[in-house]
């Protein structure tokens, strides 16, 4: 092998080895985490983590589209609607509340006053619930802190320069339990309950000075309506005590639950999905019928059907077609000329000396044969000028009568 090639390979190897040693000692490897968001179903389903949590805890839970509320489940099922119910009409709201009255448990959110249309929301009107102005927890915390500082200064107390940092975690508890749950909030739309609609059995969960959630007995069932349910969505359910609070909320009515329906969007399905959801039997039947019908067209029992013999057109049809062609091309003189020749040939066959006679002699014999005066017969047999439609038809009829005489 050439010595130059060997030396070149050695030099490249030494440089590569030196580079590796330098990078291993002087270059530091760092790992950086980048949030790329949710993937798969979690990208479109904000309650995906809640469903996994409930299933892991042994409770059947499923994502349900809002149009499935036409067929309501058993009374031991919890229906959670984390939307503004914009696609539910009044009769569906009434049907849903009748289901609750029979023993069901409904969990949903309040629609802020700024987002309610002119007609209002039937569910909130029946419960006598509205919303107050947005409650900013940090702003209220700072206001209270400043007020306390002013009071301390007036009282001559020593004021610390180190201010207490705002903590977004608030402790809440249910009515019949001393256990508290830490929930994170920055802002909410506090519930506002009309006085004439308030009931003694109402359970109102307060966060700071804002009403966050109302549990109200409705018939044999329970309605839980919150200012929002962000704490049980994918990004927040693992924080603080959100999952445990959600577990307790789901069990506020029934300790044993058949299922939990999770609804996270108001969107209606596409037409194909809707038809398949409500009429898949009909679609399947029609599809099978179409397959069998196409199969029946591709096969036939019995002998081969012979091809029909082509019918030959009559000679008269060809003549009519030729005459129509000449007439359309303004060549009526050819039609007149052919009719005159046919009439002269017919007369010529009756008189052997016809071809040897002069025109005047031919006219005399033709007049004697047809009983038509010579003055009328001469232009009829020998002239060919442009005629109107009526004159043309009359001329052809006269020549045809001579030919058939």
Alpha-helical segments (H) within 155-263: 242-250
Q: What is the mean pLDDT of residues 126-152?
A: 81
Contact 389, 330 (CB under 8 A): no
DSSP letters spanning 261-303: EEE---PPPPHHHHHHHHHHHHHHHHHHHHHHHHHHHH---SS
Tell me which residue of 197, 210, 89, 73 sits closest to 139, measured CA to CA: 210
Bridge partner list, 206: 211
Q: Give the start-to-end residue ranges of the domains of the chain.
A: 41-140+166-267, 315-403
Give the pairing of strands 77-81 and 105-109. parallel
Whole-number Å distance between alpha carbons of 186 and 297: 69
Q: Per-residue pLDDT for 324 more than 90?
A: no
Q: Per-residue pLDDT for 286 more than 80?
A: yes
207-232 burial, b for 16+ CB within 10 Å, e for fewer? beebbbbbbbebeebbbbbbbbbbbb
The CA-based dihedral angle spanning residues 397, 401, 403, 405, taken in that order and rounded to the nearest 10 degrees: 180
Q: What is the mean pLDDT of residues 141-169?
A: 72
Contact 230, 244 (CB under 8 A): no
Whole-number Å distance between alpha carbons of 393 and 277: 73
The CA-based dihedral angle spanning residues 168, 174, 179, 181, taken in that order and rounded to the nearest 10 degrees: -20
Range name among 21-30, 174-183, 184-193, 388-397 with the lowest pLDDT average: 21-30
Neighbouring residues of 93: CB distance < 8 A, sequence distance ≥ 6: 85, 122, 123
Q: Per-residue pLDDT for 315 more than 60?
A: no
Bridge partner list, 62: 261
Q: What is the mean pLDDT of residues 224-237?
A: 89
Whole-number Å distance between alpha carbons of 116 and 95: 21
Tell me which residue of 240, 241, 203 sits closest to 225, measured CA to CA: 203
pLDDT single digits (tens) 331-342: 677 777 777 787
Whole-number Å distance between alpha carbons of 65 and 96: 15
DSSP reduced 3-state for 356: helix
What pTM was estimated for this model as a whole? 0.60
Q: What is the mean pLDDT of residues 108-131?
A: 84
Fold of 41-140+166-267: Rossmann fold (3.40.50)
As a whole number, the mean pLDDT across the chain is 80
Q: What is the mean pLDDT of residues 24-37?
A: 69
Tell me which residue of 235, 183, 243 sits closest to 212, measured CA to CA: 183
Contact 343, 381 (CB under 8 A): yes
Q: How far is CA 129 from the centre of its chain?
A: 34
Range name among 172-176, 215-219, 322-326 with the lowest pLDDT average: 322-326
Considering only CA atoms, give the Rg of the chain.
50
Contact 259, 55 (CB under 8 A): no
The CA angle 339-341-347, to the nearest 5 degrees, is: 105
DSSP letters spanning 7-76: HHHHHHHHHHHHHHHHHHHHPPP----------THHHH-TTHHHHHHHHHTT--EEE--GGGGGS---TT
Range of 129-133, 332-336, 389-393 with top mean pLDDT? 129-133
Give the pairing of strands 210-218 and 77-81. unpaired
């Amino acid at each position: 092998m050439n010595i130059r090639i060997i030396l070149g390979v050695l030099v490249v190897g030494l440089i590569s080895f030196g580079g590796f040693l330098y990078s291993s000692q002087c270059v530091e490897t760092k790992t950086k985490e980048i949030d790329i968001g949710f993937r798969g179903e979690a990208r479109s389903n904000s309650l995906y983590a809640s469903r996994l949590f409930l299933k892991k805890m042994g409770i059947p839970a499923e994502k349900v589209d809002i149009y499935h509320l036409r067929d309501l489940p058993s009374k031991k099922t919890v229906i959670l609607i984390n939307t503004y119910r914009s696609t539910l009409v009044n009769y569906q709201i009434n049907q849903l509340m009748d289901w609750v009255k029979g023993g069901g448990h409904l969990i949903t959110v309040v629609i802020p006053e700024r987002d309610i249309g002119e007609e209002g929301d039937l569910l909130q009107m029946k419960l006598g619930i509205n919303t107050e102005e947005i409650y900013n927890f940090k702003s209220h915390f700072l206001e209270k802190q400043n007020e306390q500082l002013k009071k301390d200064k007036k009282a001559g107390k020593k004021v610390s320069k180190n201010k207490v940092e705002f903590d977004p975690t608030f402790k809440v508890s249910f009515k019949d339990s001393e256990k508290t749950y830490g929930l994170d909030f920055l802002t909410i739309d506090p519930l506002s309950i009309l006085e004439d609609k308030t009931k003694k059995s109402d359970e109102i969960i307060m966060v700071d000075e804002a009403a966050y959630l109302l549990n109200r007995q409705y018939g044999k069932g329970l309605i839980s309506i919150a200012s929002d349910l962000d704490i049980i969505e994918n990004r927040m359910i693992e924080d603080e005590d959100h999952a445990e609070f959600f577990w307790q909320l789901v069990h506020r009515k029934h300790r044993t639950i058949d299922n939990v329906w999770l609804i996270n969007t108001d969107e209606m399905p596409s037409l194909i999905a809707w038809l398949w959801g409500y009429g898949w039997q009909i679609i399947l039947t029609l599809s099978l019928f179409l397959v069998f019908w196409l199969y029946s067209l591709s096969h036939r029992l019995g002998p081969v059907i012979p091809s029909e013999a082509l019918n030959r057109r009559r000679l008269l049809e060809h003549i009519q077609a030729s005459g129509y062609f000449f007439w359309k091309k303004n060549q009526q003189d050819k039609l007149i000329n052919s009719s005159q020749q046919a009439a002269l040939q017919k007369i010529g066959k009756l008189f052997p000396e016809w071809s040897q006679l002069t025109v005047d002699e031919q006219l005399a014999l033709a007049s004697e044969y047809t009983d038509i005066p010579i003055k009328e017969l001469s232009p009829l047999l020998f002239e060919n000028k442009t005629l109107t439609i009526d004159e043309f038809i009359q001329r052809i009829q006269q020549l045809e009568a001579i030919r058939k005489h």
